[in-house]
Amino acid sequence: MHGKIIVCAGVLVISVAPLDAFATDVKYTCANGSRLMVHFSPPNDPSGKARLVFAGSGKTYTLPLAVSADGSRYAGAGTEFWIKGRSATLTRGSSAIICQAD
């Protein structure tokens, strides 16, 4: 009995971007009851931005990444959003409020 051995070599390449390559949306609820959605640019984006969208008001702020020794800080035009873990401090003018990621 003679048989044939057939060898089939195929290569399947799947390109998958790591999860941290994508932008992230995080919902926050602040101590005064206000809610906002923050859209963070992908970590590999050299410009680094956070777009804050306030529920119900339609107000939107786009803040550039700022220097921070601790946490992630976005600041510009009198507004600052400083994140440490699941907590963030939103400062507009001289008013600051604590927000928690949902």
Each residue of 45-80: pLDDT tens digit?
888 999 999 999 989 999 999 999 999 999 998 999
pTM recorded for the entire structure: 0.75
C-beta of residue 60 within 8 angstroms of C-beta of residue 53: yes
Q: How confident is the model at residue 84 (pLDDT cuts 50, 70, 90)?
A: very high
pLDDT computed for residue 43 by the predictor: 83
Which homologous superfamily does the CATH classification assign to the domain defined by 19-101? C-type lysozyme inhibitor (2.40.128.200)
CA dihedral 40, 46, 47, 53 (to 10 degrees): 0
